[in-house]
Amino acid sequence: KQEVTQIPAALSVPEGENLVLNCSFTDSAIYNLQWFRQDPGKGLTSLLLIQSSQREQTSGRLNASLDKSSGRSTLYIAASQPGDSATYLCAVAGYSSASKIIFGSGTRLSIRP
């Protein structure tokens, strides 16, 4: 059974720092991995999707990497800003069943001005 873990659960850094969020999964037979952002009480906003055949994806100040063999993905945020404060979730999708879309518990990120 796939398990997705995000450590740490919470992170606070000063504005301007580069930072890395981690996502690990136990079953490497995935179709894709998706990173989301969630503001308090709101829905999820898709940030980046990495297909299983890809190693990384970039969008603006965000870069997501995927290492299937080690069961890890990282989300790199460059030059962090207070507006980046939110909870970041990763989700891995297996094949054949939507029940194999498994979410992590998220990392709550706070950027201090």
Q: Which of 14, 41, 83, 113 binds another protein (CB under 8 A)?
A: 41
What's the burial of 90, exposed, middle or buried (CB within 10 Å: 0-12/13-18/19+)? Answer: buried
Q: Which of 66, 75, 89, 109 binds another protein (CB under 8 A)?
A: 89
Question: Per CB under 8 A, does 34 bind another protein?
Answer: yes
Contacts of 107 (CB under 8 A, 6+ apart): 6, 7, 8, 9, 10, 11, 21, 22, 87, 88
Q: Which of 1, 14, 83, 98 binds another protein (CB under 8 A)?
A: 98
- Point out which residues bind another protein (CB under 8 A): 4, 31-32, 34, 36, 41-46, 49, 89, 91, 93, 95-106
